[in-house]
Structure 1
């Protein structure tokens, strides 16, 4: 496999920042489709792909989301051109005949207790949510991932009557780089890693 050049690594990691302030530049639906069409190729266990995304763009949808947010997340979320609700289908196994056709993968999961299914969906949709962020950066968008919301309210507002539950939120758009604070430190390899 070839290696991503330094410019690409900078775009996805070294120069990428979490944004809290947004320029009024709109995000087109075609950009969201392009983003997803990259992110969908990220690996998940048994290719289960439990992530489901609601891209909240319209004024009406933003107003529906607003009462679900913690107070500290309201202004930045209302200002962001798009807020992605990264959800997870707890009954992801229903799609496995399509997604993992070379084995009866549905049988591996369908009879597991709901808390176990939720844990599996959470782990894999979190992976996919990270792929969404990398894909967003790859297509020229900035990200502002967050928790700080009421999952039950979001689920009632956006996923009622489904087997989907919310995982986390991510604001998307073109961040105002002039309002970024200096990058916070990261742990060194020696602080965070062990080779055994």
Structure 2
């Protein structure tokens, strides 16, 4: 077999996994979220930087504050999901680098002393980490409903500070009734891969 992962795991993480649009009311526990993070924190990023921050929205008050910033079509999904995570890029991630790079402590000053460089690095590497997070949600036997239909400035003002930028909002839980849209097509290998 060309893949080391067994077929059931391949299906769980990729082939059968879908973006959920409805959820059951079964709660998502703190232990599940901790296990997801502890699994995906090892995903590769440049310089082992870890700019992803996760804001878990559990309270009714927090949910109300978030839903008003979601696009109209996303409001019912976000209002009813057992857990919602706001995935965020921390533009001051470089402050953690000396601890993450004991063999290269000067990286913080050499590469990330200028704000535009940090913002670009934070956006790219936090997006990588967000993708790992979605796969981790699937590995926990849960469904994720990632969304970018929202008022980013409103969410940032409501939940974040000027050093953090929202990447996506993710509804998390067990899929509910009629959770899936029809599977959309994907590009084939030959449409994507070239060899030089």
The TM-score, its normalising length taken from structure 2, stands at 0.93
Whether 1:163 aligns to 2:163 is: yes
Q: Is the 8 A contact 1:142 1:172 kept in 2?
A: yes
Distance 1:117 1:93 in 2: 8
Structure 1, residues 37-80: CA drift from partner, whole Å, max 9, x if none? 11111111000110000011111110111121111110001111
CA spacing shift, 1:135–1:93, aligned 2, 3 Å:
same
Deviation track 1:119-167 (CA, whole Å, cap 9, x = no partner) reads 211110010000001111111110101101111111111113x522211
Report if the CA contact (8 A) 1:93-1:109 is conserved. no
Alpha-carbon separation, structure 2, partners of 1:61 and 1:186: 36
Equivalent-residue separation in structure 1 for 2:131 and 2:16 (angstroms)? 16
Corresponding residue pairs, total: 193
1: distance between equivalents of 2:87 and 2:98?
Answer: 23
RMSD over aligned Cα atoms: 1.4
Counterpart CA distance in 2 for 1:181 and 1:152 is: 29
Q: Following the alignment from structure 1 to structure 2, what is the Cα–Cα distance between the partners of residues 139 and 177?
A: 20
Any unmatched runs of 5+ in structure 1?
none
How high is the TM-score relative to the length of structure 1?
0.93
Which residue in the other structure is 1:107 paired with? 109
Aligned to 1:61: 62
